[in-house]
């Protein structure tokens, strides 16, 4: 299979959260959701692919001294540069993997010159890669899992990392994608826990207590700020709420939010928490600890510690980062589509390859805080399912009011196409269906790269027009 790229288009849908969400150094109340459309010619026939991504403040670059407008301009610059590289690399017919390798390498070289960090630079690679994959899946009329297993994309894992020679993509993905995935609910630094913290009258659960009861949650991701005097009383309350509302047990992960600059400080913090009797139920349920060390320090020293599986997240910016992390004692990394699909496959392959040498076993977690449908969330779930990731951080439905920001026709189409994953709220808008704490992704697995509906992006504002009229300043 070969293809050419004729054009890319970018459109923006500004979105506002139900309530401000605090994570790390940022508090999010609004963000632009960017849609990327690519016009392809696949084996001589026209096809169109689509991908999207919310562009959050202070995640790709956690610089407390820059304004969001500056961060957003940097995000858009790496995306547009990747589209330029991708377009040039497919002016003539090419295969997918050769095209992807050229895109990744050229973007990495450009990023070094521009001093753009790898995590940010590869946001551009991932969005362009996803849009093209969507178009190829549509042209083939097959879901992503089937396309990957057929090896029509020509992905050579040994060309991505030398030690993966001999491994095929079909050896890495699950024989069948998972049909259901646990939704792991994030408890942010300022999120309401009980009715004593207030209420929000918009028809959706607001507090942690309400969310557990409404969705039957049993998996949780808990964020900490790294200060025992702040974290201890809040963690006690969180533990009390979860143990009360989950009498049959629960599982939790702890997100360190890059709050520590050396391992000794984190170990002291961890031991302080672990010694608190009120937190015993939490620590018995703990599955992993995500990125406690700041990305500038995380890969500088061994992390041997009594803490359960430490993984990297923000430090996983380039193809070199996971191998380095495993050598230092980390047990794995997170997958999220904004890091890239081929990169995620290569990471999963590396963890399988090195599994016998990873004490406690490898960890590939699923993370993505505020992903929303009808495109980004479903594409992300598609990849999680085929990688066999059984519980995934999902909070887009909690921080945003379902798909209410979209046209009613779009919402109706999503409910019709994915009746196990979306339902109609009593107020009329489409909202994520979570039952017994789980997401039904059967229809996602059957659709070409997850989405499966026709979305008219021309209803959204073209990116250049949005920038010209000062759209960044509205956020």
Euclidean distance between the first and the last CA atom of the chain, given in angstroms as a whole number? 42
Backbone φ and ψ for 465, nearest 5 degrees, come out as -65, -40
Cα distance between residue 361 and residue 383, in whole Å: 21
Q: How many CB atoms lie within 10 A of CB 95?
A: 16
CA distances from 172 to 133, 387, 389 (A): 18, 7, 12
CA distances from 94 to 84, 136, 231, 247 (A): 16, 12, 53, 55
Q: What contacts 114, CB < 8 A, 6 or more positions away? A: none
Q: Across-strand partners of 253? A: 221, 288
Cα distance between residue 2 and residue 325, in whole Å: 36
Cα distance between residue 147 and residue 450, in whole Å: 13
Q: Look up residue 388 and give its two tokens.
A: 């066999």
CA angle 320, 323, 327 (to 5 degrees): 135
Closest CA to 124 of 177, 75, 61: 75
pLDDT tens track, the chain, 475 positions: 999 999 999 999 999 999 887 765 567 788 899 999 999 999 999 999 999 999 886 666 666 666 667 888 899 999 999 999 999 999 999 999 999 999 999 999 999 999 999 999 999 999 999 999 999 999 999 999 999 999 999 999 999 999 999 999 999 999 999 999 999 999 999 899 999 999 999 999 999 999 999 999 999 999 999 999 999 999 999 999 999 999 999 999 999 989 999 999 999 999 999 999 999 999 999 999 999 999 999 999 999 767 789 999 999 999 999 999 999 999 999 999 999 999 999 999 999 999 999 999 999 999 988 899 999 999 999 999 999 999 999 999 999 999 999 999 999 999 999 999 999 999 999 999 999 999 999 999 999 998 999 999 999 999 999 998 887 666 5
Cα distance between residue 184 and residue 112, in whole Å: 35
3-state class (DSSP) for residue 392 = strand
Burial grade of 338 (CB within 10 A; 0-12, 13-18, 19 or more):
buried
Q: Look up residue 38 and give its two tokens.
A: 């690519």
Contact indicator for 215, 434 with CB cutoff of 8 Å: yes
């Amino acid at each position: 299979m070969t293809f050419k790229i004729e054009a890319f288009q970018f459109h923006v849908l500004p979105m506002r959260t139900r309530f401000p969400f605090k994570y790390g150094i940022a508090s999010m109340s609004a963000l632009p959701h960017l849609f990327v459309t690519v016009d392809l010619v696949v084996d001589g026939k026209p096809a169109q692919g689509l991908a999207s991504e919310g562009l959050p403040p202070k995640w790709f670059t956690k610089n407390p001294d820059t304004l969001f407008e500056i961060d957003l301009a940097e995000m858009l610059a790496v995306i547009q540069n990747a589209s330029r590289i991708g377009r040039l690399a497919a002016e003539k017919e090419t295969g997918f993997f050769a095209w992807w390798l050229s895109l990744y390498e050229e973007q990495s070289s450009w990023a070094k010159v521009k001093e753009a960090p790898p995590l940010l630079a590869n946001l551009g690679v991932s969005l362009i890669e996803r849009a093209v994959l969507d178009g190829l899946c549509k042209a083939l009329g097959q879901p992503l899992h089937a396309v990957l297993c057929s090896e029509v994309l020509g992905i050579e894992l040994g060309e991505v990392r030398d030690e993966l020679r001999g491994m095929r993509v079909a050896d890495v993905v699950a024989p069948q994608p998972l049909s259901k995935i646990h939704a792991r609910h994030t408890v942010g630094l300022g999120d309401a826990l009980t009715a004593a913290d207030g209420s929000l009258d918009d028809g959706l659960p607001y507090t942690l207590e309400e969310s557990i009861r409404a969705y039957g949650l049993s998996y949780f991701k808990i964020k900490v700020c790294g200060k025992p005097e702040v974290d201890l009383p809040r963690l006690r309350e969180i533990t009390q709420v979860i143990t009360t509302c989950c009498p049959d047990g629960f599982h939790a992960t702890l997100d360190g939010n890059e709050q520590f600059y050396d391992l000794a400080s984190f170990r002291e913090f961890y031991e302080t928490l672990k010694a608190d009797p009120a937190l015993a139920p939490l620590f018995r349920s703990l599955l992993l600890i995500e990125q406690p060390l700041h990305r500038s320090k995380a890969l500088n020293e061994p992390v041997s510690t009594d803490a359960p599986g430490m993984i990297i997240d923000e430090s996983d910016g380039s193809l070199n980062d996971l191998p380095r992390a495993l050598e230092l004692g980390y047990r794995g990394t997170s997958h999220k589509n904004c890091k890239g699909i081929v990169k995620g496959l290569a990471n999963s392959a590396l963890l399988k390859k090195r599994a016998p040498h990873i004490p406690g076993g490898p960890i590939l977690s699923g993370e993505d805080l505020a992903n929303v449908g009808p495109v980004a969330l479903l594409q992300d779930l598609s990849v999680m399912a085929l990688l066999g990731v059984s519980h995934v951080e999902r909070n887009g439905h909690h921080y945003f009011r379902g798909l209410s920001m979209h046209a009613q026709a779009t919402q109706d189409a999503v409910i019709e196409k994915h009746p196990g994953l979306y339902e109609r709220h009593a107020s009329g808008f489409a909202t994520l269906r979570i039952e017994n704490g789980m997401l039904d992704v059967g229809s996602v697995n059957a659709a070409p790269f997850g989405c499966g509906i026709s979305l008219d992006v021309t209803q959204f504002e073209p990116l250049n027009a949005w920038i010209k009229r000062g759209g960044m300043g509205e956020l």
